[in-house]
Amino acid sequence: METDVIKYAKDEMVGIAELGNYLDNVTSHMYSKIAIIRRNKPEAVIIPIEEYELLQSVYDKLEQKEIESILKNMSNEDRGMAKIKTISIDV
């Protein structure tokens, strides 16, 4: 599976030791994102919380649409099985 590579400018990448000062730059919207690097490789991205919440909301909606699509495409027999299938868990 091929993944898209997102480009980061030099000033958008920061080592973990330098993180403190850069967090303010993201929250004040001086930068839209900051990449945390380890061994010169981006490992994580810091984005403003509002952007994260928006992305999470969009992801949740897409996931719900995918579930709805799967359910819509189920045969009537599969739907019947889905309704009666139970799982027992011993506690």
Residue 79 falls inside a structural domain: yes
Claim to verify: residue 76 and residue 91 sit in the same structural domain? yes
Tell me which of 5-9, 43-47, 80-84 is least confident: 80-84
Look up the domain containing 16 and give its range. 8-47
On whether both 53 and 37 belong to a single domain, the answer is: no
64 and 32 inside one domain: no
Helix (H, G, I), strand (E, B) or coil at 47: coil
Given this model, what pLDDT does residue 1 score? 47
Q: Which residues of 44-70 are buried (b: 16+ CB within 10 A; e: fewer)?
A: eebeeeeeeeeeeeeeeeeeeeeeeee
Q: Is residue 3 part of a domain?
A: no
For residue 14, with 0-12 CB atoms within 10 Å meaning exposed, 13-18 middle and 19 or more buried, which class applies?
buried
Domains: count for the chain: 2
pLDDT (tens digit, 9 = 90+) per residue, 26-78?
888 899 998 888 888 899 899 998 898 999 999 999 999 998 888 888 776 66
Decide if 76 is inside a domain.
yes
Whole-model pTM: value is: 0.55
